[in-house]
Structure 1
């Protein structure tokens, strides 16, 4: 008996859901439109984010230019130039200390050995400098790769977000309202209004 009641209630619920369902406004038969139909909203282009990401991968900053955010391209170029600059400096210094270390280990004179045979830099200092410069060089390379990937992601996300409706009618305006009934103990509430 309970099973019959449950089935009956579910049947009524499904029937009422279909009764109050929204009608499809695009399914209109017999109406012909002459001329071109103008819309105020932009057309969604699903390939736009992938194009922006592709352009940024080929040449950093080009995805930002594709998105018409021209001011972001010099920021990307500057952000990528910094790790490249420090990579080159650390790599040349690493090679310099590595060359001196190899020469000293083979008993030859290096750039840190004076004419009288004394050295200005010890072997331990050469080893420590090599380790530190190699670590700095690798960190510069890693930060350059991270910035490169982030600028690709930024171009793709920006291309996605450019296709959203940002009309002023679509807004979220929180306001604080005082309760006029409770004068002696004022309470503050939050009123959220949204409009489409």
Structure 2
């Protein structure tokens, strides 16, 4: 027995009838979120996400400033304590919390650690900013989908003649209905 499938017929398309014009354009939401982080979430009626966006970006920003200060302190100490470089204080004076007789290799390792951690935090800031934009864009696309429980389908099975082989078969068509 041959079975032929017909295309799906949408009887009632709720995305066009229920005010799709009121939904924001996803591209517009994306650009707004690029300009000001959190603006896209506000346009999508998800203002509860905005404090999280600013907490993550603010926390990472504060931590990057802290790591940059530490990096600058250890960079100055490394060049000031190094006997191979002239004592010109080109990166500033050695901070008081770093002893004058500190191990040069340890100071260099700490300087590199703070620089690497700072650079990783910069990557985290870019990722958090991008996640903010992606979240606003994807949710703007998903707002038009109907996820209610009143969706159903109506299958129709009919006898038919197959076009290619002129053999009798069955046609299956499915109508998706919104109640």
TM-score bracket, shorter-length normalisation: 0.5 to 0.7
Aligned to 1:79: 56
Q: Distance in 1 between matches of 2:53 and 2:97?
A: 43
Unpaired stretches in structure 1, ≥5 consecutive residues? 1-15, 26-38, 172-193
- Residues 110-149 of structure 1, C-alpha deviations (whole Å, 9 max, x = no match): 33599xxx73521111100111001100010001100100
User: 1:100 is matched with which residue: 77, 86, 95?
Assistant: 77
The structure with the largest alpha-carbon Rg is: 1
User: 1:151 is matched with which residue: 122, 132, 152?
Assistant: 132
User: 1:68 is matched with which residue: 21, 24, 45?
Assistant: 45
The one of the two structures with greater contact order (alpha-carbon pairs below 8 A, sep at least 6) is: 2
**Does the C-alpha gap of structure 1 residues 46 and 122 become closer, same or farther in structure 2, counting only changes over 3 Å?**
same
Any residues of structure 2 matched to 1:33-48 within 5 Å, and which?
Answer: 41-43=18-20, 48=25
Unpaired stretches in structure 2, ≥5 consecutive residues? 88-92, 153-175
Coordinate RMSD, CA, aligned: 3.5
TM-score, normalised with respect to structure 2: 0.66
* Aligned-partner SS, 1:71: helix
TM-score, normalised with respect to structure 1: 0.61
* Aligned-partner SS, 2:47: coil
Q: How far is 1:83 from its partner?
A: 1.3
Hey, which of these two has a bigger chunk of strand by percent? 2
